[in-house]
Chain A
Amino acid sequence: MLLIDCPFCGKRPEVEFHCGGEAHIARPADPAQVDDAIWAEHLFVRKNPRGLHAERWRHLHGCGQWFNALRDTYTDRFVETYKAGEQPKHPLTETRA
């Protein structure tokens, strides 16, 4: 079980949290101007990297807040957690070979 550092509450066990998938996916600003391919990209296509992954979590059975986390998907270790709307301190380009 993961130990997750909620930016609001501190370290808590994974069962208190809900994972919301990849972070920093922006909805198309003008939906009417966007074609099907871009909608498919927005709705379905994911980076799914082996290495650092920015993802959304919600402290469901705690403060209830959404926040972001940077986690290595090869080791499952969290590198950092940060509040929604912020960017991670670590560069996201690092992926494992």
Chain B
Amino acid sequence: MRRFSLASLLKEAVDGHQGWGRQWRAPDPKPAYDVVIVGGGGHGLATAYYLATVHGITNVAVLEKGWIGGGNTGRNTTIIRSNYLYDESAHLYEHALKLWEGLSQELNYNVMFSQRGVLMLAHNAHDVQSFKRHVYANRLNGIDNEWLSAEECKAFCPPLDISPDVRYPVVGGALQRRAGTARHDAVAWGYARGADARGVDIIQNCEVTGVRRDASGAATGVETTRGFIRAGRIGVVAAGNTSRVMAMADVRMPLESYPLQALVSEPVKPVFPCVVMSNAVHAYISQSDKGELVIGAGTDQYTSYSQQGGLHITTHTLDAICEIFPQFTRMRMLRSWGGIVDVTPDRSPIIGRTPVDNLFVNCGWGTGGFKATPGSGHVFAHTLATGQPHPINAPFTLDRFRTGRLIDEAAAAAVAH
């Protein structure tokens, strides 16, 4: 791997930028690997990267049916935060946030991680009580989160209107200053480049069509559009398509796949300094470094694999955005798109073993997986390397739906993730 540095930049500037090569190879699949990862999104690529760097396992393939980072990794609103209510989730997302803080240096790739702060607006007495509970719970877990008055919210985010006569008055807010955004494509590319440099094969346009099992029922490899690939262990990181991949191994999952939409406006000069979320009216907004306002909408009510959702879902979110930020009512929306998110009954992920030996799964991130990318990959790599969960992902078993030890962030977070 060629390291990026000021010296390399200066050299290429002199040479007319002709020497920038491909950042990862396009190898043909080998007949067998120690670990095969199904799904080349951020989580899958991060898993491969940490398998190579932390556990020294480099005989690894990442199989991607399309192109890497072309699924939900390229379709999210890039928000990163760790202010989750329950201990299990807080530890998981804080683990990820700590990795984010050093990620550009670690990968030698600028993921444009920007800790611009995530402000969650409270509009009524219930919001105030709920958010203060979150603030206190986060602090007990060593996670920064603070309560701001309406005036302090206005000082932190000047575009806010805090006058009391608006439709959704701002009575305060919870601010996580270490939270922020990152460039989602760069996360996939940076992990791919780092994993490839250590010997991981990233195989694009290679769809898994079956899981082969031996007489004892253990998984031995995957059938793909490019032939059979033997695997010591298989890690399924297929987001919205997890139910389909797991069905190939006869494992039924507690998952439903829903369309989740997002949209961006035309680019404008910097007008919005942070991320603002309003759970009560279901709106969240930030501004990308390119200048587009990035707006997240909700999920449709029905399951779907269509990667598109209903127009009334985005309209509903824009209604709320225009109500809170009337200065944006005349802006035009440039693009909208949908991704398919796999949602668990308790809105917490599943990371760990399955009833099939040698088959592991990392799924159920639902509407909020991007922020967890580094932490998810780190703990799943540990699980794949050792066969046992990392202490951080130990509670996130598939078996919790049988034992009843749910991690019910659905009730805690209400909507936006």
Contact = CB atoms under 8 A, between A and B. Distances in A.
Interface in A46-86: 46-50, 53, 55, 71, 73-76
Given A15-B312, A37-B402, A73 B252 contact: no
Interface in B223-269: 241, 243-244, 252-257
Max count, chain A CB within 10 A of own CB: residue among B252, B255, B402: B402
A50 B345 contact: no
A46 B244 contact: no
Interface stretch (B157-165, B176-184, B286-294, B296-304): B296-304
A67 to B, nearest CB: 14
Given A40-B401, A71-B302, A73-B304, A48 B310 contact: no
A44 B404 CA distance: 11
A21 interface: yes
B254 A1 contact: no
A53 B302 CA distance: 10
B20 to A, nearest CB: 39
A96 to B, nearest CB: 8
A19 B306 contact: no
A40 B312 contact: no
Contact of A1 (B252, B253, B304, B311): B311
B402 A36 contact: yes
Contact of A44 (B301, B312, B345): B345
A18 interface: yes
Contacts of B257: 48, 73
B310 A2 contact: yes
A40 B344 CA distance: 13
A45 B252 contact: yes
A30 interface: no
A94 interface: no
A49 B247 CA distance: 9
B303 A73 contact: yes
B263 to A, nearest CB: 16
A40 B244 contact: no
B256 A21 contact: yes
A48 B243 CA distance: 6
Contacts of B256: 21, 46, 48
Contacts of A73: 257, 302-306
A49 B301 CA distance: 16
Contacts of B303: 21, 48, 53, 55, 73
Interface in B375-410: 401-404
Contacts of A18: 301
Which of A1, A15, A37, A75 has the most C-beta atoms of chain B within 10 angstroms of its own C-beta? Answer: A1
Interface of A: 1-2, 14-15, 18-19, 21, 36-37, 39-41, 43-50, 53, 55, 71, 73-76
11 contacts: A2-B302, A36-B404, A37-B402, A45-B401, A46-B253, A46-B254, A48-B253, A74-B304, A74-B306, A75-B306, A76-B302
Which 9 pairs between the two chains have the least Cβ-Cβ distance? A44-B254, A48-B243, A40-B402, A19-B301, A50-B305, A44-B401, A40-B401, A19-B302, A1-B310
Given A45-B254, A50-B305, A75-B306, 6 more contacts: A1-B312, A41-B252, A46-B253, A46-B256, A73-B303, A73-B306
